[in-house]
Amino acid sequence: MKTLKTVTGAMLATMAIGLALPASAHITFENKEVAPGATVKFVLRLPHGCSGKTTTGVRIAIPAELTSAKPQPKPGWTLAIMTDDVHKASAETTHAHRAGATIKEISWTGGTLEDAYYDEFVFRATVSKTAANAIFVPVVQECEGGSVDRWIEIPAAGGVSEDLKYPAPSVRVQP
């Protein structure tokens, strides 16, 4: 009887840990929490390719809660930004060219990330002073052969990302 209780307790503890951990197969941020008003380095982690295919591009949509976004170039990838004035500009353009424009999308394309490896894509941005709860950053993972995985699902109020098939990576906003 004592053995059964021990085994049952161990199984329940294992299940509780498994439910508490985020799904490791999803795209996530290295930093899990941010503070309102802070300028933060966001490290986006891609743990795999697209259903066994090589990743050839990563596009992220910058939500309204993040301003002054600035991406980090990656060797072997072409960096581009899309601003709210709908002019797509290369990262090599001068700062003055984008003056006043808000970055709406960052993309890294032309590189390769085979399914057997993981990689990180980095940008920094300032968190709005009015941000609360969580900030979701939709990501599109472009794949060899032209297919895409859209990591854009946002949980409904009271829901959790772990229940979604393709959750948008997110960070919690510290109160």
- Is the pLDDT confidence value at 20 over 70? no
- Is the pLDDT confidence value at 65 over 90? yes
- Is the pLDDT confidence value at 21 over 70? no
Average model confidence (pLDDT) across the chain = 83
Which tops the pLDDT comparison, 5 or 141?
141
**pLDDT range class, residue 160, cuts 50, 70, 90:** confident
Encode 111-147: b = buried (16+ Cβ within 10 Å), e = exposed: bebebeeebebebebbbbeebeebbbbbbbbbbbeee
Q: What angle do CA 163, 169, 173 make, to 5 degrees?
A: 100
Distance CA 112, CA 120 (A): 12
How much is the pLDDT for 25? 65
pTM comes to 0.77
